[in-house]
Chain A
Amino acid sequence: MLDDFMIRATLAGIGVAIAAAPLGCFVVWRRMAYFGEATAHAALLGISLSLMFEFSVFAGALFVSVIMATAVTIGQGRSLFLDTLLGVAGHSCMALGLIIVSFISGVRIELMAYLIGDILAVSKTDVLLIWLGLALVLLLLIWRWSALLLCTLNEDLAAASGLYPKRENFVLTIALAVVVAVGIKVVGVLLIISLLIIPAASSRSLGSTPEKMAIFASLIGALSAILGFNASYVFDTPTGPSIVCVASLIFLFTLTFSLLTERFQRKY
């Protein structure tokens, strides 16, 4: 079954979307979008290093993302302009990565694949890695769910309940690093954040509890992956951007729906 590249691509897309969505809820609730973006941009340095020294792209991206995550956890609360520092680090790594790639002959064309993803080229190993990453992220989130929610609400409340907010935040940033690393093959470093944020934003009006919102986000993510993949096949468009566009359409749809119901309720 996995010999069919269509099935491999679909499985890869669904896997990344399902892992990204519940994590994306935390990114939205905690306003970490900027951090996610900086991590994804920095991952390009890892990719270029892996191309230069010929080791796994996944490992390279994961390595740099984890370093970013650790640096942010250490820097948290110490620097008032963490956002700016993140922007500096993320974009510097990306620029450096682009320069390194320019030295490697024959890779330039391949670069586009890492910027916007190349889902049709995923191998059996990639699918396996993606689903392992998915399992790891979901297990982490389910295991720490209540603690993470409490830390998101109020770190002092969490500390008073005997939790260590910094440790919980680290769990979240590690999960983010894993999603960035496995998502690169599917949607690339430029678009991976959209798979985190857009399904979460779409499901806000659908769920009345954080759990429902996360589950809806996963379903919307998976639906976007399937529909986007099919759309790219029918219209012959790049797959990663197609998946993101479908997710955006779903967002517009749920947004309109929630605005209309709100207006309706106010009127009557």
Chain B
Amino acid sequence: MLIEVQSLNVQYGNKKVLENINLSVSSSEIVTIVGPNGSGKTTLFKAIIGSAPIASGKIIMSPSLKVGYVPQVLNVDRSLPLTAERFLSLVTNRNDQGSLRAKQILGSEDYLSTQISSLSGGQLQRVLLARALLNDPDVLLLDEATRGLDQPGSAAFYKKIEELRESSGCAVLMISHDLHVVMSASNRVICLNGHICCQGEPQSVASSPEYRDLFGSNIDGTFALYQHNHKENKSRINNSNA
């Protein structure tokens, strides 16, 4: 077990944001958190990385666990001059393996001397992911990492994550709004709305009444298109990418 969350409660002032959360992430597992806006997904991530006020419960991390975190947004104030390269160099606990993986994600190095605030959505997202990989993490936390990418872009991104998981064996805990991708690419889905509504394998979550209550029934069509077993779906993403 890499991360274990036990009866976690998080409160901002009098407002309960997370109630009685129990979940765990094992090595090389892809776990996806879905839920409507304001359901506490990002707060759950903040609790895991230690920046949310925990009212009760606990979060157990395996000793010397290396975490790679990709935030939802990176708003760099225009008054702060910062190139992508300098941003990447702010990581102190990098290692060779991590640097290699980061290099693969970055691809071309042309844009590294560009200011962070002038990067395109796709470039920024690659820089953020590369940064998270620099310490060769045991678990990757992705907070809506495909925000601002178009559909082929998201598909390519999730394919990259899948490859990473296979080559490095790192676990992935991600928040996502791309419901169809979630269903095909995850080992487990957690449906969150302040509390955990349901969790389990993608198909069982998709057919559960709690999930349908949250996301409506008009998603059925999407699932009809995308409900394949894991292998078939992978080749599908490959095809669409080629």
Contact = CB atoms under 8 A, between A and B. Distances in A.
Interface of A: 28-31, 146, 149-150, 152-157, 159-162, 165, 200-201, 204, 207-210, 212-213
A237 B144 CA distance: 58
B46 interface: yes
8 contacts: A152-B77, A154-B71, A157-B69, A161-B69, A161-B93, A209-B81, A209-B82, A210-B81
Given A209-B82, A212-B81, A153 B87 contact: yes
A214 to B, nearest CB: 10
Interface in B55-91: 67-69, 71, 74-77, 79-83, 86-87, 90-91
Interface string B91-112: 1110000000000000000000
B49 interface: yes
Nearest to A78: B13
B83 A153 contact: no
Given A159-B50, A160-B49, A160-B141, A153 B69 contact: no
Contact of A161 (B76, B77, B91): B91
B46 A31 contact: no
B79 A156 contact: no
Given A150-B90, A153-B74, A204 B51 contact: no
Interface of B: 45-46, 49-51, 67-69, 71, 74-77, 79-83, 86-87, 90-93, 115, 141
A162 B64 CA distance: 11
Contact of B51 (A152, A153, A159, A208): A159
B127 to A, nearest CB: 12
A156 B71 contact: yes
A13 to B, nearest CB: 25
Q: Which of A149, A150, A152, A154 is most buried by chain B, counting CB atoms within 10 A of its CB?
A: A154
A157 B76 CA distance: 13
B69 A156 contact: yes
Contact of B77 (A29, A157, A165, A209): A29
Contacts of A156: 45-46, 49, 51, 69, 71
Nearest to A77: B53
B51 A210 contact: no
A30 B82 CA distance: 14
Contacts of B86: 209-210
Given A28-B79, A157-B69, 19 more contacts: A29-B80, A146-B90, A146-B92, A150-B90, A152-B80, A154-B75, A155-B51, A156-B49, A159-B49, A160-B49, A160-B69, A161-B91, A161-B92, A162-B93, A165-B51, A208-B81, A209-B82, A209-B83, A210-B80
A207 B115 CA distance: 12
Given A146-B90, A156-B46, A165-B51, A210 B82 contact: yes
B74 A208 contact: no
B81 A153 contact: no
B116 to A, nearest CB: 8
Contacts of A153: 74, 76, 80, 82, 87, 90
Nearest to B76: A153
B124 to A, nearest CB: 12
A204 B79 contact: yes
Contacts of B76: 153
A204 B77 CA distance: 12
